[in-house]
Amino acid sequence: MSNQNQQAVARYHNNFLREVEERVEDGDWVKMCMQCGVCAGSCPLGSAWEHTPQKIFMMIRAGKRDEVLKSDAMWMCTSCYNCIVRCPRKLPITHIMHGLANYAHRLDMAPKGQPTRVIAKLFWDNLVKTGRVNELKFSLAMYFKDGFVQGIKNAMAMQSAGLSLVKAKRLNPMEIIGGHKCKDSSGIKKMIARAREIEDRKKGFTS
Amino acid sequence: MADNKFAAYICSGCGIGDKIDIGTLEKIAKKEGKMAEVKVHPFLCSTEGVQLISDDIANEAVTHVCIAACSRRAKTEAFYFPTVAMSRANLREGVLWVVAEGDAHDEVRQEMADDYVRMACAEVKKMKLPEGNPNHGGNKRILVVGGGMSGMTSALEAADAGYDVVIVEKQALLGGWGAKLWKRVPFKAPYAEPQDTGVAELAAKVSSHPRIKVYVGSTVAETAGAPGRFNIKIAQDADIVEETVGAIVQATGFTSYDIAKLPELGGGQANVTDQAGLEALAIAANGAAIKRADGKVVESVVFVQCAGQRDDTGKHLPYCSGHCCATSIKQAMYFKDANPDINTVVMYQDLRVPGMGEDFYRSAQDKGVTFTKGRASGVESSGSGCRVSFRDLILDEDTSVEADLVVLATGQVPSAGVDLEAWNPVVMAADGGAEDAKQKKAEMQKISILNLNYRQGPDMPQFKHGFADSHFICFPYETRRTGIYAAGPVRRPMDMLQATEDATGAALKAIQAVENASLGRAAHPRSGDLSFPTARLEGCTQCKRCTVECPFGAIDEDERRFPKFNEERCRRCGTCMGACPVRVISFENYSVDTVGSQIKSVDMPDEFSEKPRILILACENDAYPALDMTGLSRTVYSAFVRVIPVRCLGSVNTIWITDALNAGYDGVMMMGCKKGDDYQCHFVKGSELAHYRMSKIGDTLTQLGLEPERVVTHEVAITDNTRVAQYINDYVAQINEIGMSPMKGFN
Amino acid sequence: MAKKNYAFYPGCSSQKGASASNFVTSIGMMCDKLDIQLNEIPDWNCCGASIGYGEGGELPRLALNARNLALAEKNLPGQDLVSGCPACWLSTRETAERLHQHSDLMAETNVALKEAGLSFKGGVKARHMVEVLIEDVGFAGMKAQVVKPLEGLKIAGYVGCQTNRPFGIAGESFENPMYLDKMIETVGAEAVSYDQKVTCCGGALAFSEPEKSQKQIRDIVESAYDNGAEMIVTPCQLCQANVEIYQSEINKKHGTKLAMPVMYYSQLMTVAYGGNSKQAGLDGNIIHSQKLRDIAAK
Ligand code: SF4
Ligand code: SF4
Ligand code: SF4
């Protein structure tokens, strides 16, 4: 169990709903779900979800902490916002899914190597470095996320697409040695660090 | 009374004169219809046209008026001549607007119009001017039985409208169910918090109202008489007090389903209670932490919804009581408001919170009440509390939850008195001398509420599951006892807000009833009708069909065992007239003859004409309006039909059918309201009785050597204007297929 | 006519040499014709996109977006922030709204912004390019500039997710928005009706969940084909990239022959306004539309 996780367990004594309300983005909405199932029927990758948003809300209420946080369900969210606009109770479901994923990742309970989790981290790291996303570095990093050999395979698989993008001037191979960058990237780094620190304090994370 | 003088007035307006030869109609009215006067006017409903008729009534001593113009349902204000008998030939909606356009149809159109004029003349000749019931009572006080939320509201509404009220409550105090509550479900915005019941204030208002006389600790020992003249015996301790009233509101509410019948859900265990039990605990706590009977402060509670309700095994209540979800939400808030840390679970299968209950539900979620979609399978004691086992219907697994206290949301059981279906056989046996039946009868009588001395039994007929029958689809407060109105959970499950609305409606109906009764007129749905049924007792065979079939219990028996009509209790449906095998029952303006003569007046083409004639007997409440609307929307139907409106299909006497078939009609269609559990029949049982009677007509048809398809019955709602045209056209096609009636030309 | 000025937030994918660079090319002439002046926000940063949540928490993402809003507020006062990218727009607008509604978040965000030497007062409105076209220019205004109507071109308007939800274009329904069809008709082409107008293309999961996303894309393209479309048009960068790029992958895996051009509305408008292939960024597409090229060359 990660340190963060142990602390969370100690802090909430199995009151998972309260934990979610306090620590997950928009988590205080979970109790307002009326279990109609509209969200479950609205997810584009619906059948791939281990538990639909509707079920996740019920599981939180039933205190199923491990099952929720260890699930890869919320990592299936494509951010299509279908559920948000349809939920009769106006739950910000997309945000809650993002929030749960983020929280599970923080506690290191999210499934290891979950592709979206890996990519999300790569993306963020890429962005924090320069303030902007460098698509080539990002893509390359992505191809190698599963290790070197798999990376070559992945890159080969998408090679033709990549080449056509290069030809269409929509992927710049020169970026590997430079590319886009914010002038005040150090300011941005500091800003993000500060924001994170405030949030951690507010949500009771101790590092 | 002066001699009868008959006059017909034909309107050529609205395009009638363009398509129909008015000259022919005039001749028919005069020669065949034997009208003393026949006048044509180009715009009969105009001031001038109406004046023409009024003048004839005033100066020419016209006593019977036949108007050949639009439907009897149109221009009723213009053609209002209360001092004469009147019939209407429906040339506009019934002919002009429904017969296909074009010269090809001129002939059949004219024939149809001719027949309608013949029929209207024939009808009016058999009519008398109804003069109203001369022996009516005029008491306008209103008795309210039951002093709960519904009863008190009815009493106040009626009293504030200026009517004297007598209210009878069997408990020592007014308040009923409402007085046992700690708080009530909110009925005002923002619908977020339980609110004070307001029962005490209401009771004080009732008690101090100058127009309301309150009897508490009292019951109704006998109800005799009829609207406008009910004699009520009120039993108070050992005393009997007599009161006379004009109408009655029965607001006797409900009791909650006995949890002892639910051992599987822990009914009978110490830490399991029902919603009423929880209210008592909450009142005892007075806003502080709620304690169990054993004094332990409740730290976790589970509400089990639909306990013994919506049950399809036949063991418990099959219906939903409608209020219990909101009630549990309210009770869950009692806990959360006292201490937000109390674990409060509402276990539901479908949470049903109609109306603004949705906001209340949301508010409870906001307070942290946990809503679990699950089906409880068992409650057993565990530790110092209970364990509720359930199927989680979302996560699809069997699981359980522990709680200090379990509250079962049980249903409403109506307090409607004696079930007449069970009563009547017992009475019959008791009358036959059976001792056990006599005892049973005495037992049953104890739960009677009204103790009506009617031949038909001591209380109102019940519908299903013990609720008072009250025409729930169209006229919710109308029961099957005229002048007696049901309000609140006695007629269907409901919450407090609905009950107060109900109570207001019932009070208004009671007021309408006493006003109509005091003028000798009928109550709903023929409100204001002055005709009433009479029987030529010389011809009566004492078969009792009228007394039994009258849906409203209007007919008692006199000492000689003849039917005794209580006109004020009668709704003027004519069901008795339809039932009477020797046809001795009639109204002044509606009788076996008024309809029979119309049937016979139609000009019957011969067998080889290829012009079938089909008689339609259409209920005036829904089917006839639907036919008018068919005209209004210019939907075409066959010109071979002849429509006669009837008060109710229940009033159709089988003699009309035999007369029609004998006269050579090729088919008879009957159109009435929906029957059965979701009946729409304005007279509740009329349509059903008609269907039943017609199911027996097969024999007659066989005797006549006719196909069973020659008589058909349809359920028609007022909105069925397109469908009704389809029925007609399909039937005409079917008749063409089976061929013309062989009965033509025999008379 | 006086130019309408906007604080322009291009977003990462619209940078030179990035996946939506041809989008930026194509809006140049369109904006000129419509008197829209886009003033790039100096030193803007990434919005965090729809995948930033995994590692970045709530406040870091709010701070990122607030930085762009603050830069616009400071350097381009009085101008609405406009983005052509739905994800950028969505993140920025959501940030602006959340900070507006929660004063505590506003205060905390400003503490973080201070590290980058900025502060945000809340005075900037975040809008999508399409909103500017519809609300500030209007359909009539867009139509007025058409010199080469795209006659005979059958187009499936693909609105996708984030231009449509959760905010959408005012007055449009989430389930069947009509504005894109109207824009297609405005430039003289025919909008076909098909049932995948607002289906998700898989979004950022195109990388991590390729199978599942490609199923979405295949449904979209096939439905467009089935309903007689010769081209898909979208207002979304991610939709454009996903739906165009992965067709060859799908073909390889499933033996299909998908080759449906996927364009931006701005490319259509540029051509209709008389622009050539280059101005419309047509060379930036992987799957070409000969018809559109022909019209552009006319
Ligand atoms: S936003 Fe996420 S959770 Fe909501 S419907 Fe789309 S994919 Fe599902
Ligand atoms: S749509 Fe909303 S209310 Fe319905 S199940 Fe999903 S989150 Fe709950
Ligand atoms: S059957 Fe109808 S008309 Fe006859 S007595 Fe009863 S209510 Fe009156």
Domain regions of chain C by residue span: 4-128, 146-296
Measured distance between the N- and C-terminal CA atoms of chain C, rounded to whole angstroms: 28
Q: How confident is the model at residue B609 (pLDDT cuts 50, 70, 90)?
A: confident
Same domain, B223 and B271: no
Domain A3-111 coded CATH 2.30.30.140: no
Q: How confident is the model at residue A148 (pLDDT cuts 50, 70, 90)?
A: very low
> B–C contact (≥3 CB pairs within 8 Å)?
no
Q: For chain A, give every domain's residue range.
A: 3-111, 115-196
B459-509 pLDDT, tens per residue? 999 999 999 999 878 888 999 999 999 999 999 999 999 999 999 999 999
Q: Six-digit token pair at B658?
A: 């035999």
Averaged over C251-270, what is the pLDDT?
95
Nearest CA to ligand 2 atom 8: A33
Q: How confident is the model at residue B638 (pLDDT cuts 50, 70, 90)?
A: very high
Sort out which chain C residues have CB atoms less than 8 A from A202's CB and list them.
Answer: 108
Pocket test for ligand 1, best of A86, A93, A96, A98 (most atoms within 8 A of CB): A93
Cα B23 from Cα B315, distance rounded (Å): 71
C267-298 pLDDT, tens per residue? 999 999 999 999 999 998 999 999 999 999 98
Rounded to the nearest integer, the mean pLDDT of chain B is 95
Q: Of C143, C153, C152, give the one whose Cα is nearest residue C182.
A: C143
Asked if residue B598 belongs to a domain, the reply is no
Q: Is the pLDDT of residue A151 over 90?
A: no
B180-218 pLDDT, tens per residue? 999 999 999 999 999 999 999 999 999 999 999 999 999
Q: How confident is the model at residue A171 (pLDDT cuts 50, 70, 90)?
A: low
Q: Six-digit token pair at B223?
A: 């109800």
State whether residue B267 is helix, strand or coil: coil
Asked if residue B455 belongs to a domain, the reply is no
- pLDDT value of position B697: 86
Question: B5, exposed or middle or buried, with CB in 10 Å at 0-12, 13-18, 19+?
Answer: middle
Same domain, B305 and B344: yes
Q: How confident is the model at residue C12 (pLDDT cuts 50, 70, 90)?
A: confident
Cis, peptide link before residue C235, omega less than 30° from 0: no
C neighbour chains, 3+ CB pairs within 8 Å: A
Averaged over B130-157, what is the pLDDT?
94
Strands of B12-108 (E only): list them. Answer: 37-41, 64-69, 85-90
Same domain, B512 and B580: no
**Complex ipTM:** 0.93
> Pick from B375, B410, B445: which residue ends a domain?
B410
C133-187 pLDDT, tens per residue? 999 999 999 999 999 999 999 999 999 999 999 999 999 999 999 999 999 999 9
- pLDDT value of position B651: 97
Full domain range(s) for residue B94: 1-129
Averaged over A95-119, what is the pLDDT?
94
Q: Is the pLDDT of residue B1 over 50?
A: no
Same domain, B124 and B72: yes
Q: Is the pLDDT of residue B624 over 50?
A: yes
Q: How confident is the model at residue A155 (pLDDT cuts 50, 70, 90)?
A: low
Same domain, B546 and B646: no
Same domain, B470 and B497: yes
Same domain, B564 and B608: no
Q: Is the pLDDT of residue B231 over 80?
A: yes
- pLDDT value of position A137: 61
| Listed range (B83-92, B474-483, C9-18) with the worst mean pLDDT | C9-18
Asked if residue B137 belongs to a domain, the reply is no
Q: How confident is the model at residue C206 (pLDDT cuts 50, 70, 90)?
A: confident
Give the nearest partner residue to A198 out of C112, C164, C199, using CB atoms.
Answer: C112
| Listed range (A118-127, B41-50, B536-545, B637-646) with the worst mean pLDDT | A118-127
- pLDDT value of position A136: 59
Same domain, B290 and B392: yes
- Overall domain count for chain B: 5
Q: Which amino acid, one-letter code, is at B588?
A: E
Sort out which chain A residues have CB atoms less than 8 A from B362's CB and list them.
Answer: 32, 89
- pLDDT value of position A4: 84
- pLDDT value of position A8: 84
Pocket test for ligand 3, best of B481, B556, B569, B576 (most atoms within 8 A of CB): B576
Q: Six-digit token pair at A101?
A: 């994923």
Are A78 and C174 in contact (CB < 8 Å)?
no
Q: Is the pLDDT of residue B659 over 70?
A: yes
Q: Is the pLDDT of residue A160 over 80?
A: no
* Residue B370 touches chain A, beta carbons under 8 Å: yes
Task: Find the CATH number of the domain harbouring B7.
Answer: 3.40.50
- pLDDT value of position A174: 53
Give the nearest partner residue to B394 out of A17, A31, A35, using CB atoms.
Answer: A35
Same domain, B539 and B503: no
Instruction: Tell me the shortest Cα–Cα distance from A12 to chain B, in angstroms.
Output: 13
Task: Find the CATH number of the domain harbouring B188.
Answer: 3.50.50.60
Sort out which chain C residues have CB atoms less than 8 A from A133's CB and list them.
Answer: 12, 46, 49
CATH architecture for the domain at C4-128: Up-down Bundle (1.20)
Q: Which residues contact A41 (CB under 8 A, 6 or more apart)?
A: none
Give the nearest partner residue to A62 out of B361, B366, B395, using CB atoms.
Answer: B395
Cα B579 from Cα B556, distance rounded (Å): 16
- pLDDT value of position C137: 96
| Listed range (A143-147, B422-426, C125-129) with the worst mean pLDDT | A143-147
Same domain, B501 and B484: yes
Averaged over B155-181, what is the pLDDT?
97
| Site of tokens 């932490």 | B289
Same domain, B109 and B219: no
Cα B453 from Cα B441, distance rounded (Å): 14
Cα B485 from Cα B45, distance rounded (Å): 39
Measured distance between the N- and C-terminal CA atoms of chain A, rounded to whole angstroms: 15
Rounded to the nearest integer, the mean pLDDT of chain C is 94
Q: Is the pLDDT of residue A158 over 90?
A: no
Cα B655 from Cα B662, distance rounded (Å): 10
Of the candidate CATH numbers 1.10.260.30, 3.40.50.9100, 3.40.50.11810, 3.40.50.150, the domain formed by C146-296 belongs to 3.40.50.11810
Q: How far is CA B32 from CA B38, B122, B228, in A?
A: 12, 9, 45
Highest mean pLDDT among A47-51, A157-161, B114-118: B114-118
Which of the pair, B471 or B27, is modelled with greater confidence?
B27
CA C183 to centroid of chain Cα atoms: 14
Q: How confident is the model at residue B258 (pLDDT cuts 50, 70, 90)?
A: very high
Same domain, B3 and B112: yes
